[in-house]
Structure formats: structure tokens, C-alpha cells
Amino acid sequence: MHQRTLIQDYPHRMGGHCGSGAMRDLLHWHGLGWDGPPDEGLVFALGGALGLSYLRTSELVPPLYLVGRGADFEVDLPVRLGGLVQVLTTDDPDEGWSWVRDDVDAGRPSLVWGDIAELPYLRVQLQMSRHDIVVIGYDDAKQIAFVVDNDRAEVQEVPLEALARARASTAFPQPTRHCTYRITWPRSLPAIEDVAAGAFSQSAVNMRDPSQHGIADPTTAAVGAEGLAAVAELADDVETWADLPDDELEILLFSLGAFIEKAGTGGGLFRRLLADGCAEVARLTGDPATAELAVAAARCAQTWTATARAAIQREAPIRARVDTVASMASQLPEVELRLVESLERAARSLNTTDR
């Protein structure tokens, strides 16, 4: 077969985050949901992937990295919903492409990683290897693949050579190794109360007691931590930035704002997606503790967003900006702790809901 596409049937919409946007589309494709197709916020919340990693090191460009989700969302969500996931990796590009081709030939969209710097439609120079995209077709004669991405509304035509480079990247935070998620979805979904309770509990554990490294490895950095320790580390670290030269400080402030609002986080370092998802769980279940969790997540997202906006307020003098950022960042440990406590209360409440 020289050509196969699922373009006409694939229900793609833009999203705030590559992983939850892709999973939302895949759930819709497979006809799964509780009250119609799930929105992206609900998908993110049910993944149990809330987390936090912060590091600052001169070995990175830019020298700061901040991420608000854990590493295993793409596996944890389908498994929590009753599905199965094979994570396929290889250094052989032909083998890697065969997995994608086999999926598409079987009528299945293929979820893969691709380095953003090698995807021509994104037009970025910054390398980041763990970007989820979905391949929904290919044309051997034209040597292109048809790709959907949360960052673009339309299906993208990507040269097979470019896709192979994106899938063979060795950039930060880890080699892509032609990573392909082969997911077997369940025929129907478990009760939303059970799924949400498990997800909220996992997100709280990710923050209180991160047992494994997330997407970024803070042990390699001069400054770095995970979970609640990471937000405290960030707040303390920003206090020292006033001693840096203006040019270094400008890079750090711009990067901080970008990682909070622009780097595929859905705004507010993924906390806004969580707030939207928790509000939907509260609507579906009538659980008051989950409604309170949605408010706590929204408040946390607002604090992160205010920090980001202060960082990129170019009309303000740079020293005044860093003072404002430090003041805003000092509030983050408290709102993050309140968020974790709300996650734990909502998990307990949903676990005791009469059904």
C-alpha cells in the first residue's frame, strides 16, 4: 500500500498541551467519554500527571527548565481507563517507521514523539524531544506523513526525512528513539469517580513524594528539585537573580515566562488545564470537594500566570521586574501546598461517594 490516510475521520482540535490534546483526540476517535467526547482539561486531570520539575544549569540553552507535568501521562491515562500500552523504542529508523505504518494501515492513529526543532511546520530553533504528535496517514509517492499537532489547527504534511530526524533526536530532555505508543483502548470507560480519585491521588503523590525523576532530571543541575521541593527551590533561586548581569537576567526572566505560559502548558504551568478538568469532574459527579479542588487549581494557575506576566513585562526596568517576580514566586509554595491538600481531599471524597 502506497498511501493511507485517516484525515477525513480524525476529530482533531488545537490544544494547550501536546499530550492531553492528543489523548483527547484519540479518545474521541475511539468513541470514548462520559457525557460526550472529553475536553482537554478533563483528559489532563484524569491522567494524574500533575508534577513539577525545576532546574537551572549553564549546560542548557536557555539555562533554565521548568515543567509542570510528570513523565508518564501517555501511559498512565490509558491504563487508568482500563487500556493497555506498549512503549516501543528503537534506534533503527526503518523499524520505527514500520510501527507507525502498521498502525495507520490497520486504521489506527499512531502516537509518537518528535523533536519540535525538526518539525518544519513549527518553525522553532529550540530543541525539545518529548513532543507528542499523532501520525494519521502517509503517502509513499510524495514521501510525506500526515501529522496532527496540538499547536496547529490543520493536518500537517511532513516530509518523511524530517519526521525521521524528529523521531531520532538526541536533544533535551532525552533521546526520542522513534518512541511510539501502541495503545489498546477499552470498549467502555470505568466510573468517572474511580478514575478521578486515582488520578488526584497520583498527582498529589507526584508533588509530595516524587519517587522517580520526571521529564527533567534535576540531579544534573546546579539548582534543581522536583515536586513541592521544586517550587520552594524556584522561589529561593529567583531571590538570587538580582545579583546577575542584565543580559543573563533578561534570558532567565523571558525563559521563566515562556515555560509557564507558552511551552505547551495550557497556561499557568498546566494548572489551568487541571482546574478545567476538575470543574468537569465536579459537574459529572456533584462532588463538593472536587469543586473546591477546581477553585484551588485555578488560584494556583493564576499565581503562576501572574509570575510569568511580571517576568516578561518589558516596559518595566529589569531590576524592578525581578523584584516583582521574586515577590510573586514567594507565594507559589503556599498555593501549591494548598493545591496538593485539595487533591488529597477530593480523592478521599470521591472514594467514599455512594454509587
pLDDT tens digits, 138-174: 999 999 999 999 989 999 999 999 999 999 999 888 8
**Chain Cα centroid distance, residue 304:** 16
CA distance 271 to 212: 21
Decide if 350 contacts 193 (C-beta within 8 A): yes
Question: Which residues lie closer than 8 Å to 312 by C-beta, 6 or more apart?
Answer: 253, 254, 257, 258
Model pLDDT, residue 222: 64
My answer on whether omega of the bond before 173 falls inside 30° of 0, hence cis, is yes
Model pLDDT, residue 213: 57
- Residue 330 DSSP class: T
Q: What are 87's strand-pairing partners? A: 181
Question: Which residues lie closer than 8 Å to 214 by C-beta, 6 or more apart?
Answer: 51, 52, 53, 67, 69, 70, 71, 206, 226
Model pLDDT, residue 263: 84
CA distance 186 to 354: 25
**Chain Cα centroid distance, residue 330:** 24
Which parts of the chain fold into alpha helices (H)?
Answer: 18-29, 40-46, 73-80, 93-105, 160-166, 192-208, 228-238, 246-261, 271-285, 288-311, 318-329, 332-351
Model pLDDT, residue 57: 85
Q: What is the pLDDT of residues 289-304, one digit of tens each?
A: 999 999 999 999 999 9
Q: Which residues of the chain have pLDDT under 50?
A: none
Model pLDDT, residue 62: 83
Give the SS3 label for residue 10.
Answer: coil
Model pLDDT, residue 28: 95
Model pLDDT, residue 30: 94
Model pLDDT, residue 214: 60
Q: Which of 181, 201, 185, 141 is nearest to 350 (CA)?
A: 201
Decide if 38 contacts 25 (C-beta within 8 A): no
- Cell numbers given for 338: 494548598
Amino acid letter, residue 247: D
Give the SS3 label for residue 12.
Answer: coil
- Cell numbers given for 149: 499537532
- Containing 135, the helix (H) or strand (E) segment is strand 132-139
Model pLDDT, residue 87: 97
Amino acid letter, residue 77: L
Model pLDDT, residue 353: 66
Decide if 307 contacts 328 (C-beta within 8 A): yes
Question: Which residues lie closer than 8 Å to 334 by C-beta, 6 or more apart?
Answer: none
